[in-house]
Amino acid sequence: MINFETEIQQNDQTNYSLIAIDIGYSRDRATCGIMHDGIEEPQVLTFGAAIESARQHINADSSKIPILVIEAVLSTFHNKKGNPDIRGDFERGRGWYYGAGAVTLLAALRFLNVLRDEGLKCSRAVLAEAFLSFHQGPSDHARDSMSIYKQFWLTEPEDIKHGAEPIAKFISGVPTVRVFSDGQGV
């Protein structure tokens, strides 16, 4: 089974295949936006279908290292007292540990576990976190995944507090966090 890496060589983009996922976690509705190399328009899928779509895309091209950039919590931070705390200034007023952040952490764990269990053919995959902020109304999953996809290489990683940890032991290192606008102009 593959472990996810977290280091990205920013200056060597041609070696990577980018998959942007605006994760949702609904029993019945299509709440996951997904955009990746090789398609012109983002797809909006159910949670299970998004996992399968990501798996198929990763397995289709073994010549590139896949980067899964997921709009979900992929790391945690606990303060000196052991209590959950924000991971950096980008999170002020929006902690990862309550509300929608906690749900995305749960969804990301499930997504990554199933993806790993269902046989990825690649030997390496990279994981990064998208932090989509400043929504102007309800989320548009297609637009959000397209925004993340288009802005990924143009957006620098945020500073994360020392002591942050990945959400699972199969993630080697702490995934970078990149903050994206809501895609209104994308």
pLDDT tens string 3-35: 899 999 877 888 999 999 999 999 999 999 999
Q: Where are the domains of the chain?
A: 4-180
Task: Please return the burial class of 87, using the count of CB atoms within 10 Å of its CB with bins 0-12, 13-18 and 19+.
Answer: buried
pLDDT tens string 109-136: 999 999 998 878 888 899 999 998 766 6
65 in Cβ contact with 124 (< 8 Å): yes
Number of other residues whose CB lies within 10 A of the CB of residue 131: 22
For the chain, give the percent of residues with pLDDT over 90: 73
pLDDT tens string 150-168: 999 999 999 999 999 999 9
Q: Report the run of H or E that residue 126 belongs to, with start and end.
A: strand 125-132
Sorted by sequence, the CB contacts under 8 Å of residue 47 that are 6+ apart come out as 23, 24, 25, 26, 31, 32, 107, 110, 111
> What pLDDT score was predicted for residue 183?
52
Residue with tokens 């073994």: 62
pLDDT tens string 57-89: 999 988 899 999 999 999 999 999 999 999 999
Which pTM value belongs to this model? 0.92
Q: Please determine, for residue 138, whether its predicted confidence score (pLDDT) is greater than 50.
A: yes
> What pLDDT score was predicted for residue 185?
45
97 in Cβ contact with 50 (< 8 Å): no
